[in-house]
Amino acid sequence: MVCKKTSKELSSYLDNEVSLNKRVKIEKHLKGCTNCSYRLEQLKKIHTLTQKALGREPKEGFYERLSPRLEEGEKRIGLKEKLFEWRYNWRLSLSPVGKMAVTISIIAIISLSLLYIWRSVSLPEINIEVFQQEYVRYNGMSSFAEELALPVILEIK
């Protein structure tokens, strides 16, 4: 048997709930696999501890002390928890690929936001004097194009 299948069957094996054929296969696998043998030993320890805990009765007055505490715990639910209860019960039930897509989308949005903020902060300030100089330079170039270059271009066509 494969370790994955064996580890799923170990609890049933321990509780004697598997067929004789599966039992033989599991025992054969356990002889050659230390990991599955270790898991079986851990399950046996858990099983023993559980049986010991289930065998004991609670001390006197346990239930009398417990019930007021449980009622008090119910009363402690505040307005915030009641209003936002949907938030605590909501689970994101997506496949691993879907979770990865959501994660990448969030990272992309944050990255683009930070890039936008960085670019807006690092742009040079527009000075009115610099703007006027660029405007005059542009007008000078456009008049050059209108007077000299444009007639030459039109004659070529």
Q: Within a domain: residue 89?
A: no
Q: Within a domain: residue 84?
A: no
Q: Within a domain: residue 132?
A: no
Indicate if the pLDDT at residue 55 is higher than 80. Answer: no
Q: Within a domain: residue 34?
A: yes
State the Cα–Cα distance between residues 42 and 131, nearest whole angstrom: 78
Expressed as residue numbers, the domain containing 43 is: 1-56
State the Cα–Cα distance between residues 5 and 22, nearest whole angstrom: 11
Q: Within a domain: residue 6?
A: yes
Q: Within a domain: residue 39?
A: yes
Interacting residues of 26 by C-beta distance below 8 A, sequence separation 6+: 1, 6, 9, 10, 13, 18
Task: Work out the pLDDT band at 118, boundaries 50, 70, 90.
Answer: confident
Would you state the pLDDT for residue 97? 83
Mean local confidence (pLDDT), 113-137: 75
pLDDT in tens, 69-111: 777 666 666 666 666 665 555 555 667 787 888 889 999 999 9
Would you state the pLDDT for residue 72? 67
Q: Within a domain: residue 64?
A: no
